[in-house]
Amino acid sequence: MNDPEGISWDSSELTKSKYQMYVSDGRTTGNYSLVIPSVMLNHTGGYRCEYIQPTREKFIKHYDLLVCLKSEPITEFFSEGEEVVLRCDSDITESDRVVWYRQTGHVANVIMDTEPGNLANYPEDLVGRINASNSLYYLVLSNLSLADSGEYWCAVLYKEVCLSVTKTVLVEWDPFGINSTFYRVYSSLMACALLGMVCVLITVNLKTRRRDQASLKTRRTAAQRLRQRCSREEEEEGRER
């Protein structure tokens, strides 16, 4: 492995805290993946995996890791067959490298990369459905389907430094879903109905309480009158004796 500074390490060196990464134990599984638990800006760079033996070295794979600052995603809703405009929210100059990337339920790949020497071929499922402006500020995707739902990024780089990233989440519009007019109207009606039920319950409870209080007052008055009557009768009997 090589780090962004061009230093080579073996798997034992990666346990040192300054690297903030480690290699998974592949002695039984054969998986010696490089794991970065918490990706930071200083992890940007090229990573090359090689199998080294005393007599030869075998190249396995190379990765370019580009780390950008977090940004709040933009949500775009679409219906079957519609088109959507994906915008790159950044000031782009001729010297900047622009990378459009997507991650959907079926694919995760680069849509377009303006780095010199990269092929301009679009992914097969987007051929005939994608249009890029000359300024690369936006992409237009047409004839959308459920398979196009997912996350799309526009990253602007200068000399392998990520200047900005714009994240757009494409969501198919469900006419009866949580973001639909039907759902909002339904929710409002249900909220009004619930409020009405609460008001009725409160009114019934207050009437019942008042009726109980009136009944209790009546019983107390009757009991008091009965006691007074008994007292008078006892007094009269005492005088007669």
CA 15 – CA 25 distance, rounded (Å): 12
CA 212 – CA 218 distance, rounded (Å): 10
- In one-letter notation, the amino acid at residue 31 is N
Label residue 227 by pLDDT band (50, 70, 90).
confident
Closest CA to 131 of 111, 106, 148: 111
If you ran DSSP here, which 8-state letter would residue 73 be given? -
- Write out the two tokens for 156: 């602007």
The domain limits of the chain are: 13-65, 74-172, 177-241
pLDDT tens for residues 62-109?
Answer: 888 888 888 888 899 998 999 999 988 777 777 788 888 899 887 788
Which residues neighbour 67 within 8 Å (Cβ) at sequence distance 6 or greater? 39, 40, 41, 42, 43, 44, 162
Residue with the bigger pLDDT between 182 and 192: it is 192
Measured between alpha carbons, how far is residue 156 from residues 46, 71, 87, 107, 165 in Å?
Answer: 17, 13, 12, 22, 6
Label residue 169 by pLDDT band (50, 70, 90).
very high
pLDDT recorded at residue 21: 79
pLDDT tens for residues 97-154?
Answer: 888 889 988 778 888 888 877 766 788 888 889 887 666 778 899 999 999 999 999 9
CATH superfamily of 74-172: Immunoglobulins (2.60.40.10)
pLDDT tens for residues 20-76?
Answer: 778 877 777 778 788 888 888 888 888 888 877 777 777 788 888 888 888 888 899
CA 52 – CA 153 distance, rounded (Å): 36
The backbone torsions φ and ψ at residue 79, rounded to the nearest 5 degrees and listed phi first, read -110, 160
pLDDT recorded at residue 202: 83
DSSP per-residue codes, 13-57? GGGSGGG--EE---TTT----EE-SS--GGG-EEEEEEEE-SS-E
Element (H, E) at 204: helix 181-240
